Chains A and B, each alone.
Chain A
């Protein structure tokens, strides 16, 4: 996994590329730290370029969601893959999915 972060004032845009697995948790922690440092109002995770995800990958996204929720930030997922869309709908977070899909 690798990532890019774009800072647009109150919004932070995170694009994740490649497979997201357990071993990527430290890199993902960097993303969480960056969000904490920059204190945006909205975080948008672009998942278009994500290959596969294990449950840890989904867990990381959910940790990011929980962290944003704790800090009163808006969390959105843009261009979700079918797997991410299904999962978010099943866990009851369909509202964080932006309409444009992969």
Chain B
């Protein structure tokens, strides 16, 4: 089947009836005219056909070489693309895996944050914010109750002290009465002493009694003064207590209640805000989990690289098969061409056209190296791109 192109040529010759192909093996490539005495005209026609065939073969050999190089260059490009896809995919997968890992970490941190947001540390106990609010409210209510109790006790105490003050006043009056009586007793004692002196010896013993009474009166007077001092001290103590009770009982309850209400409102607001925050965090957590799932699916999707690589290799193998087929054909054709003295050159025009159609400068350079110089880059070869006048490869920007 590899001789099909020649079969095609042969068929053409048979149809024309001017020339016949006599096989390739053994005798070489020959064209003969079996028209017998058909005349010179027929011989001239055969010669013209032979010339055309030689030219065609020469052209085919040049094109065949050019196509071989082009196919090899294509195979090289496939390897490059395959490597590029593998490298890029590997990098993308690595990045996405990092992203997925970060998403999982973030999700875990959000969960921890959610748990932390629900609780507060009160002393050594960890309780919910709602419980904490209730406790604060209870503490404040207790504070108000104790303040009211203290105020009630203070007022009761003030009234009791008032009663005591009245009693103290009564005692002071009684002391004053005692002092008045004592003063009279003293005067009486003095008079008794005078009368006893007038009585002479008869009044001597009476004078002793009068002196004793006067001394007793003096003692009562001292005692009375001391009682006065003590009562005054008690009165001062009561007044001081009164002042202190006034200080205790002068708390502005409206301010206390207002503070309690404000604190309660603030705590409720805090709970509401915390609820909003918890909701937002929950949504963020769910979103992060979704992102994590999306990224994982994305990573799986990116595994297309294996399939793409297999297909590229398949294409490459097919192309190499085409190259092999061409080379096998060339192995047959080259000796024939040599026998016939056919000279040929690689179809550089076609190659230049192929190269000039490559818009990526990097690809173009590789084509130049691969197609125009089989052994490596040829600095003397300069091929301008077809649509990129300045050759800077703008199209590379995709």
Contact = CB atoms under 8 A, between A and B. Distances in A.
B97 to A, nearest CB: 61
B253 interface: yes
B85 interface: no
A15 to B, nearest CB: 20
A59 B248 CA distance: 11
A102 interface: no
Contacts, number: 82
Interface residues of A, number: 25
B198 interface: no
Nearest to A81: B254
Contacts of A56: 151, 154-155, 246, 249-250
Contacts of A55: 147-148, 150-151, 154, 248-253
Nearest to A85: B257
B32 interface: no
Interface of B: 141, 144-145, 147-156, 158-159, 162, 246, 248-254, 257, 261
A54 interface: yes
26 contacts: A23-B246, A25-B155, A26-B162, A52-B252, A53-B254, A54-B250, A54-B251, A55-B148, A55-B150, A55-B151, A55-B249, A55-B250, A55-B251, A55-B253, A56-B154, A56-B155, A56-B246, A59-B150, A59-B152, A66-B152, A66-B156, A83-B257, A86-B257, A87-B148, A87-B257, A91-B145
A82 B34 CA distance: 134
A83 B150 contact: no
A90 B144 contact: yes
B217 to A, nearest CB: 40
Contact of A87 (B144, B249, B250, B252): B144
B253 A21 contact: no
B328 to A, nearest CB: 107
Given A56-B154, A86-B257, A29 B246 contact: no
A53 B251 CA distance: 9
A88 to B, nearest CB: 9
A55 B252 CA distance: 6
A26 B158 CA distance: 9
Given A55-B147, A55-B150, A90-B145, A22 B250 contact: yes
